[in-house]
Amino acid sequence: MLLSGTLDIIASALAHALGVDDAVGTKCAVELGRYTAEPPLLHPFGVAKKEIAERLGRDVEISMENTVALANSQSDLPLLDMVGAGVAVKPDAGLQRAARSRNWEVIRTGYI
């Protein structure tokens, strides 16, 4: 599962390219085939991303302790703190500090 704050159409394309079964991204309001100026209908960000992950885990009967999450921003700390293994990928300064204090793996290079 790819859970991202990027637009759902981009998250789906990325998941497909990576061979990931499913993706959840930001879902924007659409009217007559065009995005509107309305707030997103779904925006996986911060605590909302954690809540979405919890719901998805329940849906497929997977304990969050048996999952790994990769993130690059301190806004993902609620998600990273609830999974079995958090990984910081090219982290911002806040996430870098948190990863160091929590002894999480940090990936600074590569294609991720």
Count of domains forming the chain:
2
Q: Are 77 and 58 in contact (CB under 8 A)?
A: no
Beta bridge partners of 70: 87
Is pLDDT of 111 > 80? no
Is pLDDT of 94 > 80? yes
Q: Are residues 86 and 50 in the same domain?
A: yes
Q: Are 73 and 66 in contact (CB under 8 A)?
A: no
Q: Are residues 27 and 39 in the same domain?
A: yes
| 34-73 pLDDT tens trace | 999 999 999 999 999 999 999 999 999 999 999 999 999 9
Q: Is 87 helix (H, G, I), strand (E, B) or coil?
A: strand
Q: Are 86 and 80 in contact (CB under 8 A)?
A: yes
Q: Are residues 34 and 50 in the same domain?
A: no
> How confident is residue 109, by pLDDT bands cut at 50, 70 and 90?
confident
Q: Are residues 40 and 53 in the same domain?
A: no
| Residue 48 burial (CB count, 10 A) | 16
Q: Is 21 helix (H, G, I), strand (E, B) or coil?
A: coil
Q: Are residues 111 and 61 in the same domain?
A: yes
State percent of the chain over pLDDT 90.
96
Q: Are residues 105 and 61 in the same domain?
A: yes
